[in-house]
Amino acid sequence: MLVRRAVVPAPPDGGWGWVVVLAAFLQSALVFGILRSFGVFFVKFVAHFQELSGRISWITSIGIAVQQFASPVGTALSSHYGARPVVMVGGFLSGLGLLLASFATRLVHLYLSIGLLSGFGWALVFTPSVASVARYFKRRRTLATSLAFTGVGISSFAFSPLFQFLMDTYAWRGALMIVAAMSFNLIVCGALIRPLTLKDDVSPGKLTVCNLFGLQLLSHCPFMRFVVAITLVNTGYFIPYVHLVARARELGFDEYQAAFLMSLTAAADLCGRLFSGWLGSCRSSRLIHLLVAWTSLTGISLLLIAWGHTYPLLVAISLGYGFFSGALTPVVFSIVPEIVGIENIFSAMGLLQMIESIGGLLGSPLSGWLRDLTGNYTASFLAAGSFLLAGSLVLTTVPNFSPCLTPPDWHDARLGREAGDDSHLTTVAPADLSPEKCLGGPAAEQTPVKS
């Protein structure tokens, strides 16, 4: 059956878009909430499979890597078939992977089920959902994106004690079955993403690998500078989540004080996302300026962790880091349509997720290597802050940061046109340039101006 879709002249900035935001909220909670809370299963897996901790930790590492590296596949399929069926299939695969994991008898089964199958399902869910939110909003895009991302913070609080309760009650196999049932709800969330056809959408023409995956964006200089900047940011961004507790223990604070720092960081992260969404929706705010500000402040807070030697000071710095890093995230995804145009949003977000994952994979090992080399975490956090400050410097070269940095063909680039391409212009005959036709009426009938 042929389905006819109405063409919308511009993002509706509301309406059904808020239902899409709710769907993205639940999807971010069920993807990254599960990933962040999966450490609860860690001890049980070590005891059951009699494996080293390092080998067990590869379960979530594979899942995160597959989710990010396979993002272009999810966005390419969404560009061709629409986000709704892609997200629904991804929800089924993520739930199926967790369900199969409950029957695992060897560690490699968990690598394949959770790491590979669920990870690929998460790739089909997350980025297309965020891109769909961006397509439904323009003026309120940052607010909508930040509301969608609050699902990560809320679920991070709720899922850890919930998973622990499920394991205490049903053992780890039963707990995984229930978590799988929760993940199958991603199918329902995907069904809520109503297709939206915008006037600016460009017909892909002949289907090729290049236009399916948006590989032409690799020659889009403003976008690639943005990607380099976010990759630098991503290199230092996650280091506190891995090493802040160890840094606090290194300074002599007990395990409860160290763990409390992470709780404070998560709470501040949630507040930062909401504040950033409100500020970004203000008409007077320019997103690229906000992104540079949040990135710089996050980098400075990481530098300060290296000099925070008292617990009250470390608490204050952790609150600052959580707030600024939380504020940074929704702006990153909201600014992509301004750089590449809303018609390229799926391809751009997929490529961004894939390339920036390189920084995320290198950051923690580099931080650990610096700790082993120097004997403490001071150099690790100095390096983390330096990466974010370097990223903020690269962001200042992105067009629209300053009028003098915006080339004349910037708007052509955003619309996917090459410089000098005049195919979008209309040829007008010389006879049509008469005053009567240009001004809408005979020149003699124009009202004379009194002197």
| Distance separating the N- and C-terminal Cα atoms of the chain | 67
Give one DSSP letter per residue of 15-35, joined into a string.
TTHHHHHHHHHHHHHHHHHHH
Domains, the chain, ranges and CATH? 11-197 (1.20.1250.20), 213-399 (1.20.1250.20)
- The burial of 205, by beta-carbon neighbours within 10 Å (0-12 exposed, 13-18 middle, 19 or more buried), is given as exposed
Distance CA 17, CA 9 (A): 15
Inter-axis angle of helices 53-69 and 345-374, nearest 10: 150
Tokens of 283: 């008409």
Distance CA 22, CA 144 (A): 9
Q: State residue 244's pLDDT score.
A: 83
Distance CA 228, CA 69 (A): 16
Q: DSSP assignment, residue 226?
A: H
CA-based nearest residue to 176, from 62, 53, 94, 106: 94
CA-based nearest residue to 139, from 294, 15, 11: 11
SS3 314: helix
Q: What angle do CA 55, 59, 63 make, to 5 degrees?
A: 145
Residues of the chain with pLDDT under 70: 1-11, 53-54, 198-213, 283-285, 400-451
**pTM summary value:** 0.72
Rg (CA), the chain: 25
User: Residue 428's CB: how many other CB atoms inside 10 A?
Assistant: 10
Q: State residue 51's pLDDT score.
A: 78
User: Residue 193's CB: how many other CB atoms inside 10 A?
Assistant: 28
Q: In this predicted model, what pLDDT tens digit does every residue of 388-417 receive, in sequence order?
A: 999 999 999 887 665 544 444 444 444 444
